[in-house]
């Protein structure tokens, strides 16, 4: 480090500042040697205090300060002092002389500082890598936890749906199998051919909707496995999905469970008809899985 103190009260001040301190070779020299420069006018407080500390009496005043190691400790020390008017070449020579004397010590200190910096950077990189690894593990655990929660939620929703479906079919078993047709009421005779080969014949009121056909077959197909002596009510917030469809043999006409269509208004169902019940095999397998989930739960 180079400390430069000037005083306007000295005659050599202006020439030194205009010529010596602006010398291109000196500036290049200080830059190449990586010298930190600090300059001040002693008429100002900070520079005046530095002047007192360095005990400067003649101006311009220059002090070469470097880090020195004494008794195992390092501290900044004044290595050389230059007072009075100096030329740029003389300043460079004094610097070269100082570097020749303490260059080895400075190199050692620089090496130590570089090593400390390398160690600090290595610790920083290790800490950063550790934090990133920790954050990655945390994100992985959070993602795993979310997947577990989502899977549990989906399983619970599936079990809840299966429970409501079973409750709905049990309700149908208690109500849809009953024959509630008055003697004077118009009725149609429907013959159902089920997927398992069974044939079922039943009368339906003409005012009944197409949904009643599906409700009857749903209840008939499960009356042995899902019949319950306990009175059942309709499950809340549940829309039943039938896992079969019905159609006439020929010409083929598919009848869907439409609650807005009455049987008497369907020519193919009045006054009698034969309907083939087709079961979706994928939906059958799904129903078996739902039943298994209920048993496990």
pLDDT digits (tens, 9 = 90+) for 91-150: 999 989 988 888 777 777 778 888 989 999 999 999 999 999 999 999 999 999 999 999
Closest Cα to residue 162, out of 26, 290, 32?
A: 290
Tokens representing 234 are 């309709």
How many residues in total does the chain contain?
297
**Contact status, residue 244 vs residue 277, Cβ threshold 8 Å:** yes
To the nearest whole percent, how much of the chain has pLDDT over 70? Answer: 94
Confidence (pLDDT) at 73: 75
| Own/partner long-range contacts of 96-103 (Cβ < 8 Å, ≥24 apart) | 98/64, 98/66, 99/33, 102/66, 102/68
Closest Cα to residue 256, out of 199, 205, 213, 192?
A: 213
| Residue 287 pLDDT greater than 70, yes or no | no
Confidence (pLDDT) at 237: 92
Domain 171-296 is of which CATH architecture?
A: Roll (3.10)
Residues of the chain with CATH 3.40.30.10: 2-86
Closest Cα to residue 110, out of 63, 80, 69, 62?
A: 69
CATH homologous superfamily of 2-86? Glutaredoxin (3.40.30.10)
This prediction has a pTM of 0.55
Separation between Cα atoms, residue 244 and residue 283, nearest integer Å: 8
Separation between Cα atoms, residue 56 and residue 45, nearest integer Å: 15
Separation between Cα atoms, residue 36 and residue 29, nearest integer Å: 12
| Residue 284 pLDDT greater than 70, yes or no | no
Residues of the chain with CATH 3.10.20.90: 171-296
pLDDT class for 46, splitting at 50, 70, 90?
very high
Q: Where are the beta strands (DSSP E) in the chain?
A: 2-6, 37-41, 61-70, 73-83, 187-193, 199-205, 244-247, 254-255, 272-279
Residue 222 belongs to what H/E stretch? helix 210-222
Tokens representing 64 are 């070469």
Q: What is the mean pLDDT of residues 223-242?
A: 87
Residue 174 belongs to what H/E stretch? helix 88-175
Q: Where are the beta strands (DSSP E) in 7-123?
A: 37-41, 61-70, 73-83
Separation between Cα atoms, residue 113 and residue 102, nearest integer Å: 16
| Residue 294 pLDDT greater than 60, yes or no | no
pLDDT class for 254, splitting at 50, 70, 90?
very high
Average predicted confidence (pLDDT) for the chain: 88
Decide which of 200 and 72 is more confident.
200
Separation between Cα atoms, residue 80 and residue 89, nearest integer Å: 16
Confidence (pLDDT) at 285: 53
Decide which of 253 and 8 is more confident.
253
Decide which of 39 and 69 is more confident.
39
């Amino acid at each position: 480090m180079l400390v430069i103190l000037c005083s306007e009260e000295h005659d050599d001040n202006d020439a030194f500042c205009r010529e010596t301190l602006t010398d291109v070779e000196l500036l290049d020299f200080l830059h190449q040697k990586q010298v930190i420069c600090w300059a001040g006018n002693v008429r100002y407080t900070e520079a005046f205090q530095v002047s007192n500390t360095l005990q400067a009496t003649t101006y311009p005043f220059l002090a070469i300060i470097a880090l020195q190691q004494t008794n195992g400790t390092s501290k900044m020390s004044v290595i050389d002092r230059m007072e009075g008017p100096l030329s740029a070449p003389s300043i460079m020579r004094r610097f070269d002389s100082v570097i020749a004397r303490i260059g080895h010590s400075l190199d050692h200190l620089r090496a130590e500082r570089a090593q400390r910096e390398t160690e600090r950077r290595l610790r920083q990189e290790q800490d950063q890598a550790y934090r990133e690894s920790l954050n990655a593990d945390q994100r992985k655990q959070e993602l795993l936890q979310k997947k577990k929660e989502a899977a549990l939620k989906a399983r619970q929703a599936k079990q809840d749906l299966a429970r409501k479906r079973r409750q709905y079919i049990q309700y149908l078993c208690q109500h849809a199998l009953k024959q509630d047709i008055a003697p004077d009421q118009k009725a149609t005779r429907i013959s159902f051919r089920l997927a398992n080969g069974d044939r079922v014949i039943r009368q339906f009121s003409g005012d009944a909707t197409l949904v009643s056909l599906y409700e009857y077959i749903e209840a008939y197909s499960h009356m042995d496995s899902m019949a319950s002596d306990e009175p059942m009510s309709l499950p809340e917030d549940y829309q039943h999905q039938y896992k079969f469809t019905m159609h006439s043999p020929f010409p083929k006409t598919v009848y869907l469970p439409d609650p807005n269509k009455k049987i008497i208004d369907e020519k193919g169902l009045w006054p009698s008809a034969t309907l083939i019940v087709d079961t979706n095999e994928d939906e059958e397998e799904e129903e078996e899985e739902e039943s298994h989930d209920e048993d496990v739960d």
